[in-house]
């Protein structure tokens, strides 16, 4: 849940992902994606009135613009679309700032914003990107191919804790989820899936991938459908008609529809997707946990600690501002950021993914014991590679 206040101190006159309080005096607005915690104040008559009176604009991605136009047609003319990875000049009262939107991997249409004025500032919004993905972002390099000097990174710190060192990639999680669904549905026409989520929204990629692989939409609640139907290319992935599918995501604590309980004679497998429960210790056992036909699967749309760490070490910013802070972890986050900003520290050697350690162990157990009696495969997998 974002706790970012909206203001970028290096660029007076703009606000990002917050549209109330002192942000009402800004001259230009930016929205990284359409999730509720990043849209506070956007739906108010006060903010929308200010946009029109001052002829201010909200700068967004193509997908976000399509959603906002349907939600708030009355401010259609104040919404400006930014092209991915293309610089746009935004005129403020006494300055011009260049902004480049960069896909952030969080949800359809989500972007980071790279601002360039006197200094270069990166606002990540909610993001999920590997270091290799970040290295391929051309906007981070100058015309000579040299990495730009980043002054400040406003960082998504949702899981910036050593409790969450690593997460499986989105592709790994989607494979696991879709395999669990297919295995169950293939057994019998009387088998159905109860797909449970840990938040109201944020599972767009999951539903789209399920439809792509299973050729079956996901039954969702009226509230969820009202949101998902706003997103381009999602109209086939979700449905309000329970009879059209055997995959249901309408019975969690957020959505009170009880269609699954009314399907007498059907056998249900529950698949619960979340990231918060998947600490470092739990992921050592794998990315799935089965408890009486309820399968918990690790699915993360935010960066893990190591992904955040790798971004900081690669970009080498002068300052990092955490955008998600809770009282019980704020001090820990600030301390870890301070440590990472000391770039004289040695790089951390690459280790196997935590959730692959259990696979390594399984491979060892089925092998013959070597002559010297050591678990060569396991030991070599855990050894740090030699740094070149």
DSSP state string for 253-276: SS----TGGG-TT-EEEEEEEEST
Place of tokens 């029109």: 52
178, 219, 225, 265, 271 from 251: Cα distances, Å: 19, 10, 14, 18, 12
- Decide which of 355 and 178 is more confident: 178
50 & 65 share domain: yes
Q: What is the mean pLDDT of residues 352-375?
A: 41
3-state secondary structure 146-157: CECCCCEEEECC
The region of weakest confidence among 68-72, 82-86, 164-168, 252-256 is 252-256
Proportion of the chain above pLDDT 70, given as a percent? 84
* Pairing status of strand 111-116 against strand 96-103: antiparallel
* pLDDT 10s digits, 58-79: 999 999 999 999 999 999 999 9
Q: How many whole angstroms separate alpha carbon 360 and alpha carbon 32?
A: 39
First to last CA, the chain: 40
Q: Answer yes or no: do 133 and 194 share one domain.
A: no
Kindly state whether residues 285 and 316 are assigned to the same domain. no
Closest CA to 137 of 108, 111, 119: 111
| All residues at 6 or more sequence positions from 240 whose CB lies less than 8 Å from its CB, including other chains | 219, 220, 222, 225
Whether residue 126 sits in one domain with residue 104? yes
pTM: 0.85
Instruction: Please give the pLDDT value at position 266.
Output: 86
Residues 188 and 327 in one domain: no
200-203 long-range contacts, Cβ below 8 Å, gap at least 24? 200/36, 200/224, 200/227, 200/254, 201/35, 201/36, 201/107, 201/227, 201/228, 202/35, 202/106, 202/107, 202/301, 203/249, 203/273, 203/299
Q: Could you write out the DSSP letters of every residue in 192-238?
A: EEEEEESSSS--HHHHHHHHHHHS-PEEE-HHHHHHHTTSTT-TTTE
CA dist 326 to 285, 293, 330, Å? Answer: 28, 34, 6
Assigned domain for 36 exists: yes
Residue 370 lies in a domain: no
CATH, residue 314: 3.60.15.10
Mean of pLDDT values over 44-55: 97
Q: Are strands 191-197 and 247-249 parallel, antiparallel or unpaired?
A: parallel
CA–CA gap between residue 381 and residue 46 (Å, rounded): 58
pLDDT (0 to 100) of residue 369: 33
Q: Bridge-partner residues for 291, per DSSP?
A: 294
- pLDDT tens for each residue of 202-216: 789 999 999 999 999
- Residue 55 CB burial class (10 angstroms; 0-12, 13-18, ≥19): exposed
- Average of pLDDT values for 251-257? 50
Is 375 inside any structural domain?
no
Mean pLDDT for all residues in the chain: 87
| pLDDT class of 367 with cuts at 50, 70, 90 | very low
Domain that holds residue 92: 14-164+303-340
Q: What's the CATH code of the domain at 209?
A: 3.40.50.12650
DSSP state, residue 64:
H
Up-side HSE of residue 62: CA atoms within 13 Å toward CB?
A: 8
362 inside domain: no
């Amino acid at each position: 849940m974002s706790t970012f206040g909206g203001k970028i101190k290096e660029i007076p006159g703009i606000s990002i992902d917050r549209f109330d309080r002192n942000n009402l005096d800004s001259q230009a607005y930016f929205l990284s994606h359409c999730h509720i915690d990043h849209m506070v104040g956007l739906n108010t008559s006060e903010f929308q009135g200010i946009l029109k009176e001052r002829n201010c604009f909200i700068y967004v991605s193509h997908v976000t613009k399509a959603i906002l136009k349907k939600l708030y047609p009355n401010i259609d003319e104040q919404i400006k679309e930014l092209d991915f990875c293309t610089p746009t000049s935004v005129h403020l009262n006494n300055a011009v700032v260049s902004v480049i939107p960069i896909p952030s991997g969080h949800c359809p249409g989500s972007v980071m914003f790279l601002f360039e004025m006197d200094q270069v500032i990166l606002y990540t919004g909610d993001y999920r990107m590997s270091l290799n993905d970040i290295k391929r972002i051309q906007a981070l390099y100058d015309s000579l191919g040299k990495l730009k000097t980043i002054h400040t990174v406003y960082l998504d710190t949702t899981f910036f804790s050593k409790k969450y060192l690593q997460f499986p990639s989105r592709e790994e999680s989607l494979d696991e989820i879709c395999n669990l669904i297919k295995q169950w549905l293939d057994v019998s026409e009387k088998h159905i899936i109860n797909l449970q989520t840990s938040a109201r929204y944020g599972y767009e990629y999951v539903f789209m991938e399920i439809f792509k692989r299973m050729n079956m939409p996901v039954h969702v609640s009226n509230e969820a459908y009202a949101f998902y139907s706003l997103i381009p290319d999602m109209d086939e992935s979700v449905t309000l008609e329970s009879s059209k599918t055997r995959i249901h995501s309408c019975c969690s604590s957020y959505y009170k529809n009880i269609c699954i309980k009314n399907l007498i004679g059907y056998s249900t497998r529950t698949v619960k997707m979340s990231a918060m429960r998947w600490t470092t210790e739990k992921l050592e056992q794998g990315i799935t946990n089965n408890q009486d036909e309820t399968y918990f699967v690790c699915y993360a749309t935010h960066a893990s600690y190591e992904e955040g760490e790798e971004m900081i070490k690669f970009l080498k910013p002068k300052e990092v501002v955490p955008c998600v802070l809770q009282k019980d972890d704020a001090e820990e986050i600030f301390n870890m950021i301070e440590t990472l900003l000391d770039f004289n520290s040695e790089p951390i050697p690459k280790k196997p993914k935590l959730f692959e350690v259990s696979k390594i162990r399984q491979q060892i157990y089925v092998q013959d014991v070597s002559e010297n009696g050591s678990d060569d495969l396991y030991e070599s997998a855990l050894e740090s590679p030699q740094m070149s």
